């Protein structure tokens, strides 16, 4: 049985971390499979990816504590690099990604959700970075991504205290974009993914790149990043046909990704 599964529904991919007996905890096998599954995604046909966890209880309850407990310093660094490389691959995947957080998202699980573009949560979701209670720092980008998403004060409060927060607080601090009853979460995630998939794929991908790359540099450089990506859209058939449809006051044809 695969520990990471990928299902395709029309132009939407659904990636499931499938280790429910351990609340989908990330051991090295899960992380390696995640790496391979991400590599297997054809970003020219899949237009949006949903990431979720198997079972009713957890998105991902963190890195595998049993496996981590005996690591040496060198092994700890290697494990951190393995996770960081894969999470960065997810973060920079050219297509939009949505984390459908269906339960515990702790430690590496919270970090996995933060490597996605958008987070939707069930009412049962719980977020946190409990690492300092285990004698370690967050190791898969938590100190960096949480501060960028919720601000430095809130991130430091959560990380220093190791306090878990429930879905309403995650919504209030901007960690998640919406909260739904558990039984509605996947349908809502799929609805959002389908809506994204219906937009011009090259433009959507350019928006992701512009936001991700532009926010890493100062504003003078950032607007140049945007200008170049904006310009590149004018080489596409989708831009020409959508604008022609607007001018001719008719509905545009489905986008062709070219
Ligand atoms: N690792 C391994 N197994 C886990 C796990 C985890 N993170 N979380 C849960 N499990 C397993 C439990 O051991 C249990 O297994 P069995 O005893 O049935 O064999 C099963 O999942 C069900 O869990 P519980 O029986 O505990 O379920 P409860 O409903 O009672 O509690 C819980 C749910 C989520 C509150 C609890 O399981 C819990 O506190 N889990 C640990 C949460 C946690 O602390 N997560 C953060 C892990 S630390 C780094 C790289 C990475 C990281 C850091 C540094 N570098 C190399 C620098 C990342 C660190 C983390 O993610």
- Look up tokens 């596409």; give the residue: 236
Atom of ligand 1 nearest to the CA of 63: 61
Q: Of 165, 189, 167, 188, whose CA–CA distance to 176 is shortest?
A: 167
Task: Give me the CATH number covering residue 191.
Answer: 3.90.226.10
Active site annotation includes 131: yes
Task: Give, using CA atoms, the residue closest to atom 4 of ligand 1.
Answer: 22
* Phi and psi at residue 124, to the nearest 5°: -90, 0
Mean pLDDT by 10 residues, the chain (258 residues): 94 98 96 97 97 98 94 90 95 98 98 98 98 94 96 98 98 98 98 98 98 97 98 97 96 94
208 in the same domain as 192 = no
138 in the same domain as 234 = no
Interatomic CA distance for residues 120 and 98, integer angstroms: 7
Q: Within a domain: residue 254? A: no
Q: 44 CB contacts (<8 Å, ≥6 apart)? A: 257
Task: Identify the three-state secondary structure at position 218.
Answer: coil
Task: Give, using CA atoms, the residue closest to atom 15 of ligand 1.
Answer: 22
218 in the same domain as 185 = no
Q: Within a domain: residue 90? A: yes
121 in the same domain as 227 = no
Domain that holds residue 209: 201-247
Query: What pLDDT, on the 0 to 100 scale, is given for residue 76?
Result: 87
Query: What pLDDT, on the 0 to 100 scale, is given for residue 80?
Result: 86
Count how many domains the chain has: 2
CA 123 to the chain's CA centroid: 19
Query: What pLDDT, on the 0 to 100 scale, is given for residue 59?
Result: 98
Q: 2 CB contacts (<8 Å, ≥6 apart)? A: 18, 33
Q: Exposed e or buried b for every residue in 50-87, given b needs 16+ CB within 10 A?
A: bbbbbbeebbbbbbbeebbeeeeeeeeeebbebbbebb
Task: Give, using CA atoms, the residue closest to atom 8 of ligand 1.
Answer: 61
Q: Within a domain: residue 75? A: yes
105 in the same domain as 221 = no
Interatomic CA distance for residues 101 and 37, integer angstroms: 19
128 Cβ closer than 6 Å to some ligand 1 atom: no
Task: Give me the CATH number covering residue 236.
Answer: 1.10.12.10
238 in the same domain as 176 = no
pTM to 2 decimal places = 0.97
């Amino acid at each position: 049985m695969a520990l990471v599964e990928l299902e395709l529904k029309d132009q939407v991919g659904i990636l499931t971390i499938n280790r429910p007996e351990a609340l989908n905890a990330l051991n090295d096998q899960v992380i390696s499979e995640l790496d391979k599954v991400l590599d297997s995604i054809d970003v020219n046909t899949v237009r949006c990816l949903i990431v979720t966890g198997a079972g009713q209880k957890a998105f991902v309850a963190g890195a595998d504590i049993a496996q981590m407990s005996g690591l040496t310093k060198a092994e700890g660094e290697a494990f951190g690099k393995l996770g960081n490389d894969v999470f960065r691959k997810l973060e920079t995947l050219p297509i939009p990604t949505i984390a459908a957080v269906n339960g515990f998202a702790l430690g590496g699980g919270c970090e996995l959700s933060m490597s996605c573009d958008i987070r939707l949560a069930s009412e049962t979701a719980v977020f946190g970075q409990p690492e300092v209670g285990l004698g370690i720092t967050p190791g898969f980008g938590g100190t960096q991504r949480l501060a960028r998403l919720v601000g430095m004060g809130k991130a430091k409060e959560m990380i220093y205290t190791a306090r878990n927060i429930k879905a309403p607080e995650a919504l209030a601090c901007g960690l998640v974009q919406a909260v739904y009853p558990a039984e509605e979460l996947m349908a809502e995630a799929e609805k959002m993914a389908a809506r994204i998939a219906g937009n011009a794929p090259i433009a959507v991908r350019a928006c992701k790149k512009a936001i991700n790359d532009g926010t890493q540099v100062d504003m003078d450089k950032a607007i140049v990043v945007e200008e170049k990506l904006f310009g590149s859209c004018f080489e596409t058939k989708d831009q020409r046909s959508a604008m022609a449809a607007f001018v001719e006051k008719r509905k545009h044809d489905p986008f062709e990704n070219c």
